[in-house]
Amino acid sequence: MKLEDKRREEKTELLQLVGFKIDSEEFAINILIVQEIIKLLKITKVPNAPNFVEGVVNIRGRIIPIINLRSIIQLPQKEFDNKTRIIVVEIANNTVGFIVDAVTEVLRIPLEITEAPPELTTDINSDFINSVAKIDDRILLLLDIDKIISHSYSEQLA
């Protein structure tokens, strides 16, 4: 490797992401906000909760609201199975769990391969998509969890 290539590689900013699937779509979020990834636990329903809130769980003595990402991004519901996971995140002093169909991988990708999402005409709520990454023949949608949480809380208050 040439010295120039090595310097260029060192300057390339890398995003560290947790990749997951919902339906046939591939998504990712910044690993820095992920506290843990756990198997599906017994969820206690909360009366009068918005449709995207599955309920709450007790994780080591902490009561955490659980949001179904399928509902947020407007994909059809499906039964949970043995691949279903809860991704627990902490952002803006809020700890929230997100239900996903499966966690697939931890990725390190160069920031330069991401781009702003195109005008989307799918069922996915494009407001929550931060950017899009092309990796080989795959397209990875990077979610803005901050927007999802603020949307969830503002809808809950309404």
Domain positions in the chain are 11-157
Task: Please choose, from the candidates 29, 38, 24, the residue with its C-alpha nearest in 3D space to the C-alpha of residue 106.
Answer: 29
Query: Residue-wise over 33-58: b if at least 16 C-beta within 10 A, else e?
Result: bbeebeebeebeeeeeeeebbbebbe
Give 121: exposed, middle or buried? Use CB within 10 Å, 0-12, 13-18, 19+. exposed
Give the DSSP per-residue string, 52-107: TEEEEEEETTEEEEEEEHHHHTT-------TT-EEEEEEETTEEEEEEESEEEEEE
Whether residue 38 contacts residue 59, with contact meaning beta carbons closer than 8 Å, is answered with yes
User: pTM of the predicted model, to two decimals?
Assistant: 0.83
Whether residue 62 contacts residue 81, with contact meaning beta carbons closer than 8 Å, is answered with no
Q: What's the CATH fold of domain 11-157? A: OB fold (Dihydrolipoamide Acetyltransferase, E2P) (2.40.50)
Structure tokens at 157: 């208050």
Q: What is the pLDDT along the chain (158 residues), one digit of tens a residue?
A: 555 555 555 567 899 999 999 999 999 999 999 999 999 999 999 998 888 899 999 999 999 999 999 988 888 889 999 999 999 999 878 899 999 999 999 999 999 988 888 775 444 556 788 889 988 889 999 998 888 877 665 555 34
Whether residue 53 contacts residue 151, with contact meaning beta carbons closer than 8 Å, is answered with no
